């Protein structure tokens, strides 16, 4: 699920509304002389006010949502015995509050877990079967409007890893792209070359300096490759430290030039902890009658050769 971003202003307004509500409740109890019920309402009002203040910090948003949720639960639970028949109205508040404040799955689970408690509270004043059906119906129906949201965010998550990251094509998409490039080279009667690039420092950077250094290494590498190759040449990550650069319409001479250019640029770059980027690059050419699968196999075995330690 993508990161939840409440527009903070709306949320603060809603929490302020809740604070005001609980303050009016406190005032009402004071005026009516229900002195025992003043303290809980006053404490809950303070809690919700605090949550409204906390909302401005992004990392505290989830926490403040939980504070408001618990305050809402407690307020309803404390008042429930005094509500009489109108409890059928107020029982609808906790599930709605949960659905609005929590992600859909968690909200559904929590509502179902808390159902016995609320139903017990309702049963003081009302026949259980009818109000129980109403409660469960409300819980289920309140989730449904989020359906589009749930569906789309799950779709987004499942397509996300297939897309390119920082201009590097992921492994699944890479072989799809290779098939397309081979077919294009055949249709247009062009040559196709590929560079298999091994970066031995990736493992070392990850183990010794952590992920940040590794990401920096990959980003720098990616930038250098983009600068050294032409627009539309596909750079893909086949293994975590083996990359393929597909050069369309490039013969052996062109691929050699690109390789020299890359080697030089990588050698000249200095990274903070790693120093110059080392790379081993092999050139593969698409043969005249070679299928895409064979070519891919050849690239894979070339990559494996590179991974073996030098003898």
Instruction: Map the footprint of another protein across residues 270-299, applying CB under 8 A.
Output: none
Instruction: Report if residue 71 touches another protein, rule: CB under 8 A.
Output: no
CB of 307 to another protein, least distance (A): 29
Instruction: Report if residue 232 touches another protein, rule: CB under 8 A.
Output: yes
Q: Of 162, 276, 304, 307, which lies in the binding site for another protein, with binding defined by CB under 8 A?
A: 162
Q: Distance of CA 48 to CAs 64, 75, 204, Å? A: 8, 11, 50
Instruction: Report if residue 138 touches another protein, rule: CB under 8 A.
Output: yes
Q: Which is nearer to another protein, 185 or 284 (CB)?
A: 185
Instruction: Report if residue 150 touches another protein, rule: CB under 8 A.
Output: yes
CB of 12 to another protein, least distance (A): 9
CB of 289 to another protein, least distance (A): 18
Q: Which is nearer to another protein, 89 or 272 (CB)?
A: 89
Rounded Cα distance, 181 and 248, in Å: 7
Instruction: Report if residue 36 touches another protein, rule: CB under 8 A.
Output: no
Q: Of 58, 62, 184, 270, which lies in the binding site for another protein, with binding defined by CB under 8 A?
A: 184
Rounded Cα distance, 65 and 86, in Å: 27
Rounded Cα distance, 281 and 20, in Å: 68
Instruction: Report if residue 81 touches another protein, rule: CB under 8 A.
Output: no
Rounded Cα distance, 140 and 132, in Å: 12
Q: Of 92, 123, 206, 298, which lies in the binding site for another protein, with binding defined by CB under 8 A?
A: 92
Q: How many CA atoms lie within 13 A of 211 on its CB side?
A: 0
Stretch that binds another protein, among 10-18, 198-206, 267-275, 301-309 (CB under 8 A): 10-18
Instruction: Report if residue 127 touches another protein, rule: CB under 8 A.
Output: no
CB of 233 to another protein, least distance (A): 9
Closest CA to 297 of 166, 180, 194, 207: 194
Q: Which is nearer to another protein, 202 or 248 (CB)?
A: 248
Q: Of 43, 119, 125, 164, which lies in the binding site for another protein, with binding defined by CB under 8 A?
A: 164
Instruction: Report if residue 78 touches another protein, rule: CB under 8 A.
Output: no
Instruction: Report if residue 260 touches another protein, rule: CB under 8 A.
Output: no
Instruction: Report if residue 149 touches another protein, rule: CB under 8 A.
Output: yes
Instruction: Report if residue 152 touches another protein, rule: CB under 8 A.
Output: yes
Instruction: Report if residue 52 touches another protein, rule: CB under 8 A.
Output: no
Q: Which is nearer to another protein, 90 or 209 (CB)?
A: 90
């Amino acid at each position: 699920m993508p990161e939840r971003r409440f527009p903070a202003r709306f949320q603060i307004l809603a929490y302020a509304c809740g604070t005001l509500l609980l303050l009016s409740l406190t005032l009402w109890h004071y005026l009516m002389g229900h002195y025992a019920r003043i303290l809980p309402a006053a404490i809950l009002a303070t809690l919700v006010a605090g949550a409204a203040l906390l909302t401005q910090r992004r990392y505290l948003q989830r926490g403040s949502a939980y504070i408001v949720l618990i305050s809402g639960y407690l307020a309803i639970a404390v008042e429930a015995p005094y509500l009489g028949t109108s409890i059928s109205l107020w029982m609808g508040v906790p599930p709605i509050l949960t659905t609005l404040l929590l992600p859909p799955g968690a909200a559904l689970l929590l509502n179902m877990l808390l159902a016995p408690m609320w139903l017990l509270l309702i049963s003081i004043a009302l026949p259980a079967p009818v109000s129980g059906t109403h409660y469960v119906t409300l819980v289920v129906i309140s989730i449904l409007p989020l359906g589009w949201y749930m569906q789309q965010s799950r779709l987004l998550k499942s397509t996300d890893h297939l897309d390119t990251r920082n201009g590097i094509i992921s492994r699944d998409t890479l072989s799809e792209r290779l098939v397309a490039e081979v077919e294009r080279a055949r249709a247009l009667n062009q040559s196709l070359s590929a560079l298999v690039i091994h970066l031995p420092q990736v493992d070392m950077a990850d183990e010794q300096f952590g992920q940040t250094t590794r990401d920096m290494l990959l980003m720098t590498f990616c930038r250098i490759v983009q600068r050294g190759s032409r627009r539309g040449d596909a750079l893909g990550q086949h293994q975590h430290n083996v990359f393929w650069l597909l050069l369309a319409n490039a013969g052996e001479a062109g691929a050699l030039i690109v390789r020299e250019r890359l080697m030089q640029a990588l050698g000249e770059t200095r990274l903070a902890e790693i120093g110059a980027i080392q790379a081993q690059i092999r050139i593969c050419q698409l043969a005249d009658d070679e299928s895409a699968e064979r070519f891919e196999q050849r690239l894979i075995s070339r990559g494996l050769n590179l991974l073996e330690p030098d003898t």
